[in-house]
Amino acid sequence: MLNVSNLHVKFPTDAGTVKAVSGVDLSISPDEVMGLIGESGCGKSVLGLAITRLLQEDAIVDGSILYQGDEIHSLDKESMRKLRGKKIGMILQNPGTSLNPVIPIGQQIAEPLMMHMRMKRADAMDKAVSLLERVKIKEPSKRAKEYPHQFSGGMKERALIAMGLAPEPEFIIADEPTKGLDVTVKKNIVKLLKEISDKKTMLIITHDLEVAEDVCDSVGVMYAGEIIEIAPSNRMFGEQLHPYTRGFFESLPARGLKPIKGSSPSLIDLPQGCRFHLRCEHCMDRCRKEHPPMIDKEGRQVRCFLYA
Ligand SMILES: Nc1ncnc2c1ncn2[C@@H]1O[C@H](COP(=O)(O)OP(=O)(O)OP(=O)(O)O)[C@@H](O)[C@H]1O
Ligand code: NI
Protein backbone atom coordinates (compact mmCIF):
# COMPACT_ATOMS: atom_id res chain seq x y z
CA MET A 1 0.00 0.00 0.00
CA LEU A 2 2.71 2.46 1.05
CA ASN A 3 6.31 2.05 0.00
CA VAL A 4 8.89 4.56 1.11
CA SER A 5 12.41 4.04 -0.15
CA ASN A 6 15.61 5.89 0.53
CA LEU A 7 13.73 8.97 1.69
CA HIS A 8 15.75 12.02 2.69
CA VAL A 9 14.34 15.30 4.00
CA LYS A 10 16.62 18.28 4.57
CA PHE A 11 15.94 21.81 5.73
CA PRO A 12 18.39 24.56 4.83
CA THR A 13 18.86 26.87 7.84
CA ASP A 14 21.29 29.67 8.74
CA ALA A 15 23.15 27.27 11.01
CA GLY A 16 23.51 24.66 8.25
CA THR A 17 21.47 21.90 6.64
CA VAL A 18 19.24 19.97 9.04
CA LYS A 19 19.08 16.34 7.95
CA ALA A 20 15.74 15.53 9.52
CA VAL A 21 15.16 12.22 7.71
CA SER A 22 17.98 10.13 6.21
CA GLY A 23 17.56 7.09 3.99
CA VAL A 24 14.26 5.82 5.38
CA ASP A 25 12.82 2.61 3.90
CA LEU A 26 9.38 1.61 5.02
CA SER A 27 6.49 -0.47 3.71
CA ILE A 28 3.02 -0.76 5.10
CA SER A 29 0.62 -3.40 3.82
CA PRO A 30 -3.16 -3.05 3.68
CA ASP A 31 -4.72 -3.34 7.17
CA GLU A 32 -1.36 -3.10 8.87
CA VAL A 33 -1.00 -0.63 11.75
CA MET A 34 2.57 0.52 12.09
CA GLY A 35 3.87 2.48 15.05
CA LEU A 36 6.78 4.88 14.74
CA ILE A 37 8.59 5.57 17.98
CA GLY A 38 11.72 7.42 19.08
CA GLU A 39 12.66 10.40 21.21
CA SER A 40 11.76 14.00 20.49
CA GLY A 41 13.39 15.50 17.39
CA CYS A 42 14.34 12.19 15.71
CA GLY A 43 12.28 12.95 12.59
CA LYS A 44 8.96 11.15 13.15
CA SER A 45 6.68 14.07 12.32
CA VAL A 46 8.79 15.17 9.36
CA LEU A 47 8.51 11.66 7.92
CA GLY A 48 4.71 11.73 8.39
CA LEU A 49 4.45 15.15 6.79
CA ALA A 50 6.61 14.05 3.84
CA ILE A 51 4.24 11.15 3.18
CA THR A 52 1.26 13.51 3.08
CA ARG A 53 3.31 16.17 1.30
CA LEU A 54 2.50 18.71 3.96
CA LEU A 55 6.09 19.84 4.53
CA GLN A 56 6.88 23.50 4.15
CA GLU A 57 8.14 24.69 0.75
CA ASP A 58 11.80 24.97 1.69
CA ALA A 59 12.10 21.27 2.59
CA ILE A 60 14.35 19.31 0.22
CA VAL A 61 12.84 15.88 -0.36
CA ASP A 62 14.68 13.03 -2.10
CA GLY A 63 13.81 9.40 -2.62
CA SER A 64 10.57 7.66 -3.39
CA ILE A 65 7.18 7.51 -1.70
CA LEU A 66 4.81 5.22 -3.54
CA TYR A 67 1.20 5.06 -2.50
CA GLN A 68 -0.61 2.23 -4.32
CA GLY A 69 2.00 2.60 -7.01
CA ASP A 70 1.72 6.38 -7.41
CA GLU A 71 4.79 8.49 -6.74
CA ILE A 72 3.47 11.03 -4.24
CA HIS A 73 6.07 13.68 -4.89
CA SER A 74 5.36 13.86 -8.60
CA LEU A 75 1.57 14.18 -8.36
CA ASP A 76 0.13 17.53 -9.41
CA LYS A 77 -1.66 19.65 -6.79
CA GLU A 78 -5.13 18.50 -7.80
CA SER A 79 -4.30 14.77 -7.66
CA MET A 80 -2.52 15.32 -4.37
CA ARG A 81 -5.57 17.08 -2.93
CA LYS A 82 -7.73 14.10 -3.86
CA LEU A 83 -5.22 11.63 -2.49
CA ARG A 84 -4.92 13.52 0.77
CA GLY A 85 -8.62 13.69 1.48
CA LYS A 86 -9.97 10.44 0.16
CA LYS A 87 -7.02 8.07 0.42
CA ILE A 88 -4.61 9.38 3.03
CA GLY A 89 -5.98 11.06 6.15
CA MET A 90 -3.93 12.86 8.74
CA ILE A 91 -4.63 13.29 12.43
CA LEU A 92 -2.27 16.06 13.44
CA GLN A 93 -0.33 16.77 16.59
CA ASN A 94 -1.50 19.46 19.06
CA PRO A 95 -5.29 19.67 19.32
CA GLY A 96 -4.76 23.10 20.87
CA THR A 97 -3.37 24.64 17.71
CA SER A 98 -5.02 22.45 15.06
CA LEU A 99 -8.55 23.54 15.96
CA ASN A 100 -9.76 27.03 15.15
CA PRO A 101 -10.98 28.68 18.39
CA VAL A 102 -13.66 30.84 16.72
CA ILE A 103 -15.46 28.20 14.62
CA PRO A 104 -17.87 25.63 16.10
CA ILE A 105 -16.44 22.11 16.13
CA GLY A 106 -19.12 20.65 13.86
CA GLN A 107 -18.49 23.27 11.23
CA GLN A 108 -14.74 22.61 11.37
CA ILE A 109 -15.37 18.96 10.62
CA ALA A 110 -17.94 19.79 7.93
CA GLU A 111 -16.00 22.47 6.05
CA PRO A 112 -13.37 20.23 4.43
CA LEU A 113 -16.18 17.88 3.40
CA MET A 114 -17.91 20.75 1.61
CA MET A 115 -14.72 22.07 0.10
CA HIS A 116 -12.91 18.91 -0.94
CA MET A 117 -15.70 16.42 -1.31
CA ARG A 118 -18.31 18.84 -2.62
CA MET A 119 -20.91 17.84 -0.05
CA LYS A 120 -23.90 20.12 0.56
CA ARG A 121 -23.80 22.06 3.84
CA ALA A 122 -26.67 20.16 5.47
CA ASP A 123 -25.21 16.78 4.50
CA ALA A 124 -21.76 17.77 5.67
CA MET A 125 -23.17 18.92 9.03
CA ASP A 126 -25.08 15.63 9.42
CA LYS A 127 -21.92 13.75 8.64
CA ALA A 128 -20.00 15.84 11.19
CA VAL A 129 -22.52 14.94 13.88
CA SER A 130 -22.36 11.25 13.03
CA LEU A 131 -18.55 11.40 13.14
CA LEU A 132 -18.66 12.97 16.59
CA GLU A 133 -20.93 10.13 17.61
CA ARG A 134 -18.51 7.62 16.14
CA VAL A 135 -15.67 8.99 18.27
CA LYS A 136 -17.97 8.60 21.30
CA ILE A 137 -18.82 12.22 22.00
CA LYS A 138 -22.10 12.33 23.93
CA GLU A 139 -24.94 14.54 22.66
CA PRO A 140 -23.13 15.01 19.35
CA SER A 141 -25.67 17.36 17.75
CA LYS A 142 -25.49 19.74 20.69
CA ARG A 143 -21.69 19.42 20.92
CA ALA A 144 -21.26 20.09 17.20
CA LYS A 145 -22.45 23.64 17.81
CA GLU A 146 -19.90 24.27 20.57
CA TYR A 147 -16.46 25.89 20.29
CA PRO A 148 -13.11 24.23 21.08
CA HIS A 149 -12.81 25.98 24.48
CA GLN A 150 -15.98 24.18 25.58
CA PHE A 151 -14.28 20.84 24.90
CA SER A 152 -11.91 19.06 27.31
CA GLY A 153 -8.47 17.93 26.08
CA GLY A 154 -9.69 14.41 25.42
CA MET A 155 -12.74 15.67 23.55
CA LYS A 156 -10.61 17.94 21.39
CA GLU A 157 -8.43 14.96 20.48
CA ARG A 158 -11.60 13.03 19.60
CA ALA A 159 -12.76 15.93 17.45
CA LEU A 160 -9.43 15.86 15.61
CA ILE A 161 -9.76 12.13 15.07
CA ALA A 162 -13.29 12.77 13.72
CA MET A 163 -11.81 15.35 11.32
CA GLY A 164 -9.20 12.83 10.18
CA LEU A 165 -11.89 10.20 9.59
CA ALA A 166 -14.27 12.57 7.81
CA PRO A 167 -13.31 11.85 4.19
CA GLU A 168 -13.24 8.09 5.02
CA PRO A 169 -9.58 7.67 4.05
CA GLU A 170 -8.14 4.19 3.50
CA PHE A 171 -4.88 5.07 5.18
CA ILE A 172 -4.46 7.27 8.25
CA ILE A 173 -1.38 8.88 9.69
CA ALA A 174 -1.87 9.91 13.31
CA ASP A 175 0.81 12.09 14.87
CA GLU A 176 0.96 11.79 18.69
CA PRO A 177 -2.76 11.15 19.13
CA THR A 178 -2.34 10.77 22.91
CA LYS A 179 0.13 13.55 23.65
CA GLY A 180 -0.63 15.54 26.78
CA LEU A 181 -3.70 13.52 27.75
CA ASP A 182 -4.15 12.19 31.27
CA VAL A 183 -4.14 8.46 31.88
CA THR A 184 -7.89 7.77 31.79
CA VAL A 185 -8.50 9.96 28.75
CA LYS A 186 -5.56 8.30 27.05
CA LYS A 187 -6.99 4.84 27.70
CA ASN A 188 -10.19 5.87 25.94
CA ILE A 189 -8.35 7.33 22.96
CA VAL A 190 -6.28 4.14 22.68
CA LYS A 191 -9.51 2.12 22.72
CA LEU A 192 -10.92 4.34 19.99
CA LEU A 193 -7.75 4.02 17.90
CA LYS A 194 -7.92 0.26 18.25
CA GLU A 195 -11.50 0.24 17.01
CA ILE A 196 -10.59 2.42 14.04
CA SER A 197 -7.45 0.44 13.28
CA ASP A 198 -9.44 -2.77 12.94
CA LYS A 199 -10.68 -1.53 9.60
CA LYS A 200 -7.92 0.81 8.45
CA THR A 201 -4.29 0.92 7.51
CA MET A 202 -2.47 3.29 9.83
CA LEU A 203 0.85 4.84 10.71
CA ILE A 204 0.80 5.98 14.32
CA ILE A 205 3.58 8.32 15.43
CA THR A 206 4.04 8.27 19.17
CA HIS A 207 6.60 8.22 21.92
CA ASP A 208 4.19 6.31 24.03
CA LEU A 209 5.15 2.65 24.17
CA GLU A 210 1.77 1.63 25.55
CA VAL A 211 0.06 3.01 22.47
CA ALA A 212 2.51 1.17 20.24
CA GLU A 213 2.08 -2.09 22.13
CA ASP A 214 -1.72 -1.89 22.38
CA VAL A 215 -2.58 -0.69 18.90
CA CYS A 216 0.22 -1.51 16.45
CA ASP A 217 1.03 -4.67 14.49
CA SER A 218 4.58 -3.55 13.76
CA VAL A 219 6.89 -0.95 15.25
CA GLY A 220 9.68 1.12 13.72
CA VAL A 221 12.21 2.91 15.88
CA MET A 222 13.84 6.14 14.71
CA TYR A 223 17.08 7.65 15.90
CA ALA A 224 18.66 10.84 14.51
CA GLY A 225 16.63 10.74 11.29
CA GLU A 226 17.06 7.04 10.56
CA ILE A 227 15.00 3.95 11.16
CA ILE A 228 17.27 1.76 13.24
CA GLU A 229 14.98 -1.15 13.99
CA ILE A 230 11.70 -2.59 12.70
CA ALA A 231 9.88 -5.64 14.02
CA PRO A 232 6.42 -7.03 14.58
CA SER A 233 5.08 -5.43 17.73
CA ASN A 234 5.05 -8.56 19.91
CA ARG A 235 8.66 -9.35 19.02
CA MET A 236 9.82 -5.77 19.60
CA PHE A 237 8.21 -5.73 23.03
CA GLY A 238 9.58 -9.17 23.77
CA GLU A 239 13.17 -8.27 22.94
CA GLN A 240 14.83 -5.12 21.63
CA LEU A 241 17.87 -5.76 19.46
CA HIS A 242 19.40 -2.33 18.88
CA PRO A 243 21.26 -0.92 21.90
CA TYR A 244 19.42 2.37 21.35
CA THR A 245 16.01 0.69 21.33
CA ARG A 246 16.90 -1.15 24.54
CA GLY A 247 18.05 2.10 26.15
CA PHE A 248 15.00 3.98 24.91
CA PHE A 249 12.65 1.39 26.40
CA GLU A 250 14.50 1.46 29.73
CA SER A 251 14.48 5.27 29.83
CA LEU A 252 10.70 5.42 29.92
CA PRO A 253 8.77 5.85 33.16
CA ALA A 254 7.01 2.49 32.94
CA ARG A 255 10.29 0.65 32.45
CA GLY A 256 12.69 2.06 34.97
CA LEU A 257 13.34 5.68 33.99
CA LYS A 258 17.01 4.97 33.36
CA PRO A 259 18.26 7.61 30.91
CA ILE A 260 20.67 6.78 28.08
CA LYS A 261 23.93 8.62 28.73
CA GLY A 262 24.79 11.50 26.41
CA SER A 263 22.41 13.11 23.96
CA SER A 264 21.29 12.69 20.36
CA PRO A 265 23.67 14.14 17.78
CA SER A 266 22.93 17.41 16.03
CA LEU A 267 21.11 16.77 12.76
CA ILE A 268 23.30 19.44 11.20
CA ASP A 269 26.57 17.77 12.16
CA LEU A 270 26.07 14.02 12.27
CA PRO A 271 28.84 11.70 13.45
CA GLN A 272 30.63 9.36 11.06
CA GLY A 273 29.81 5.67 11.30
CA CYS A 274 26.84 4.59 13.36
CA ARG A 275 24.83 7.60 14.52
CA PHE A 276 24.50 6.04 17.98
CA HIS A 277 28.14 5.01 18.47
CA LEU A 278 29.11 7.87 20.81
CA ARG A 279 26.50 6.72 23.33
CA CYS A 280 26.72 2.99 22.79
CA GLU A 281 28.07 0.56 25.40
CA HIS A 282 28.84 -1.98 22.68
CA CYS A 283 30.71 0.39 20.36
CA MET A 284 33.31 -1.42 18.26
CA ASP A 285 36.01 0.02 16.05
CA ARG A 286 33.91 -0.58 12.98
CA CYS A 287 30.99 1.42 14.42
CA ARG A 288 33.10 4.61 14.46
CA LYS A 289 34.03 4.32 10.79
CA GLU A 290 31.31 2.51 8.89
CA HIS A 291 27.64 3.34 8.66
CA PRO A 292 25.66 0.18 9.51
CA PRO A 293 23.12 -0.96 6.90
CA MET A 294 19.79 -2.52 7.87
CA ILE A 295 20.58 -6.11 8.79
CA ASP A 296 18.04 -8.89 8.56
CA LYS A 297 17.83 -10.84 11.78
CA GLU A 298 15.31 -13.68 11.73
CA GLY A 299 12.69 -11.69 9.86
CA ARG A 300 13.19 -8.45 11.75
CA GLN A 301 15.52 -5.64 10.86
CA VAL A 302 18.18 -3.83 12.83
CA ARG A 303 20.80 -1.26 11.87
CA CYS A 304 23.64 -2.48 14.08
CA PHE A 305 26.95 -4.31 13.49
CA LEU A 306 26.34 -6.51 16.56
CA TYR A 307 24.11 -8.56 14.27
CA ALA A 308 26.31 -8.52 11.18
N1 LIG B 1 10.98 23.51 8.95
C2 LIG B 1 12.06 23.09 9.60
N3 LIG B 1 13.24 23.74 9.49
C4 LIG B 1 14.35 23.28 10.13
N5 LIG B 1 14.36 22.20 10.90
C6 LIG B 1 13.21 21.51 11.05
C7 LIG B 1 12.01 21.92 10.41
N8 LIG B 1 11.03 21.05 10.75
C9 LIG B 1 11.61 20.14 11.56
N10 LIG B 1 12.91 20.41 11.75
C11 LIG B 1 13.87 19.64 12.54
O12 LIG B 1 13.82 18.30 12.12
C13 LIG B 1 14.04 17.42 13.21
C14 LIG B 1 12.96 16.40 13.30
O15 LIG B 1 11.76 17.01 13.74
P16 LIG B 1 10.40 16.23 13.98
O17 LIG B 1 9.36 17.22 14.27
O18 LIG B 1 10.16 15.29 12.86
O19 LIG B 1 10.74 15.38 15.30
P20 LIG B 1 9.77 14.37 16.06
O21 LIG B 1 10.48 13.06 16.08
O22 LIG B 1 8.42 14.41 15.48
O23 LIG B 1 9.79 14.98 17.54
P24 LIG B 1 8.59 15.10 18.61
O25 LIG B 1 8.50 13.74 19.23
O26 LIG B 1 9.08 16.13 19.54
O27 LIG B 1 7.35 15.49 17.87
C28 LIG B 1 14.12 18.30 14.46
O29 LIG B 1 15.48 18.48 14.79
C30 LIG B 1 13.51 19.60 14.01
O31 LIG B 1 14.08 20.68 14.70
NI1 NI C 1 6.60 15.06 16.19
CA-to-CA dists, residue 117 to 71, 122, 124, angstroms: 23, 13, 9
Residues in CB range of 34: below 8 A, 6 or more apart? 26, 28, 202, 203, 204, 216, 217, 218, 219, 220
Calculate how far, in angstroms, residue 15's C-alpha sits from the geometric centre of ligand 1.
15
- Predicted-complex ipTM score: 0.99
What per-residue confidence (pLDDT) applies to 286?
97
Residue pLDDT, tens place only, 136-162: 899 999 999 999 999 998 899 889 888
The alpha carbon dihedral of 146, 147, 153, 158 has a sign of positive
Residue 253 CA neighbour count, 13 Å, CB half: 3
Pocket test for ligand 1, best of 18, 47, 269 (most atoms within 8 A of CB): 18
Residue pair 13/33 in contact by the 8 Å Cβ criterion? no
pTM recorded for the entire structure? 0.91
Q: Worst-scoring range by mean pLDDT, 210-214, 251-255, 281-285?
A: 251-255
- pLDDT tens across 56-67, in order? 889 999 999 999
Domains recognised in the chain with CATH numbers:
2-96+170-302 (3.40.50.300)
- Ligand 1 atom with the smallest distance to the CA of 47 is 18
Question: Please, are residues 91 and 141 in contact by the beta-carbon 8 Å criterion?
Answer: no
How do residues 184-200 score in pLDDT, each as one tens digit? 888 888 888 888 888 89
pLDDT band with cut points at 50, 70 and 90 for residue 116: confident
Q: Report CA(176)–ligand 2 centroid distance (Å).
A: 7
Ligand 1 contacts CB of residue 265 (under 6 A):
no
> Which pLDDT score, from 0 to 100, does residue 95 have?
57
Measured in angstroms, how far is the CA atom of residue 50 from the centroid of ligand 2?
12
Residue 134 CA to ligand 1 center (angstroms) comes to: 32
pLDDT at 111 over 70: yes
Nearest residue by C-alpha to atom 8 in ligand 1: 46
CA angle in degrees (0–180, nearest 5) for 94-17-278? 85
Higher pLDDT, 83 or 146: 146
The minimum-distance atom of ligand 1 relative to the CA of 42 is 21
Task: State residue 89's pLDDT score.
Answer: 87
pLDDT in tens, 242-256: 999 999 999 888 788
pLDDT at 94: 62
- Statement: residue 300 has pLDDT above 80: yes
Locate the ligand 1 atom nearest the alpha carbon of residue 56 and give its number.
Answer: 1
Asked if residue 137 has its Cβ within 6 Å of ligand 1, the reply is: no
Residue 123 has pLDDT above 80, yes or no: yes
